[in-house]
Every structure is written in C-alpha cells, then in structure tokens.
C-alpha cells in the first residue's frame, strides 16, 4: 500500500525512537525538524497507519494514546496513582496469539497486555498516609 508523505515522516520518527510517542509529541518532533504538518494530519496519518497494521497504539490511564512501531512487543505494569509504566520483559501470550490466528483465521497485527495497580513508591506513600492518619 502506498504511503503519503505525512505517513512516511511519522514512520521515520517512530522507527528512530526508542519509546512510544503521543500524537502531540510526534507533531512537535515534526515541527522541530522544520517540517510543516498540522496536528489533524498527524492524527489522520496515525489512524491510517494503525488500520494498515504498521503502528500500534497504547492508551494510558489518563486517556493519552502512545504510538510505536508494531514490531515493538512491550507490555507494562501501570501505576494508577502516579501513572508510571514499567515494561515487562517477556510476553506470556505469544502462544495464545498463534492459536487465535489459526482457530479464527484472524490476522493479528499486534496485541497489548497491561496490568494496573500501585507501584512500590505509591504503595509506601499510601501506607505512610494511613499510619499517619490513625489516632494514637
């Protein structure tokens, strides 16, 4: 499938980046490179790339979407209190993906796996807040 100039620019940025980026971050990077592209074009291009299976999207707890290349198989532990995300090093669902692909004849571009809870720092701050608020 033929890609537009905007889509190619976005793919180049995502390929050269070691982390997922929001549409706003992509927009700012394009502007920093001296290129002209509107934010609406960034969103349209990301949607087309997502539907073509070339980029994947991950939505954070606060609603922000982060985009990365599909080859990136990363999963996360995300803290509901501070929003930090910790990457998980291994993927426990590759076998399931193959089974689903075969059983349903469904072409899977990517999958996401995310666990939500409290990180160590937030657990400690929650514990100290509870201890401090208890009467003596």
Phi and psi at residue 16, in whole multiples of 5°?
A: -90, 0
Tell me the two tokens of residue 70: 């599909």
pLDDT of residue 6: 95
Instruction: Give residue-wise pLDDT tens across range 21-61.
Output: 999 999 999 999 999 899 999 999 999 999 998 999 988 87
- Using alpha carbons, select from 48, 59, 77 the residue that is nearest to residue 20: 59
Residue 131 has pLDDT above 60, yes or no: no
Does residue 61 sit in the same domain as residue 79?
A: no
Does residue 6 sit in the same domain as residue 56?
A: yes
Does residue 41 sit in the same domain as residue 96?
A: no
Does residue 131 sit in the same domain as residue 87?
A: yes
pLDDT of residue 134: 58
Does residue 20 sit in the same domain as residue 46?
A: yes
Does residue 49 sit in the same domain as residue 16?
A: yes
Domain boundary residue among 17, 52, 71? 71
Residue 73 has pLDDT above 80, yes or no: no
How many structural domains does the chain have?
Answer: 2
Q: At 105, which CATH number?
A: 3.30.1490.190
What pTM was computed for the model?
0.67
Query: What are the C-alpha distances in Å from 136 to residues 113, 119, 132, 133?
Result: 43, 28, 9, 9
The residue range of the domain holding 52 is 1-71
Q: At 52, which CATH number?
A: 1.10.10.10
pLDDT of residue 31: 94
Domain boundary residue among 54, 71, 88? 71
Residue 112 has pLDDT above 90, yes or no: no
Does residue 57 sit in the same domain as residue 78?
A: no
């Amino acid at each position: 499938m033929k890609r537009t100039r905007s889509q190619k620019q976005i793919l180049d940025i995502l390929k050269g980046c070691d982390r997922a980026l929001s549409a706003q971050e992509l927009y700012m990077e394009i502007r920093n490179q001296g290129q002209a592209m509107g934010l609406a074009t960034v969103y349209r291009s990301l949607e087309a790339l997502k539907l073509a299976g070339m980029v994947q999207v991950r939505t954070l707890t606060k609603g922000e979407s982060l985009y990365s290349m599909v080859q990136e198989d990363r999963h996360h532990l995300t803290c509901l209190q501070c929003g930090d995300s910790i990457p998980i090093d291994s993927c426990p669902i590759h076998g399931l993906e193959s089974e689903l692909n075969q059983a349903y004849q469904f072409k899977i571009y990517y999958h996401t796996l995310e666990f939500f809870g409290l990180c160590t720092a937030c657990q400690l701050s929650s514990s100290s807040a509870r201890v401090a608020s208890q009467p003596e």
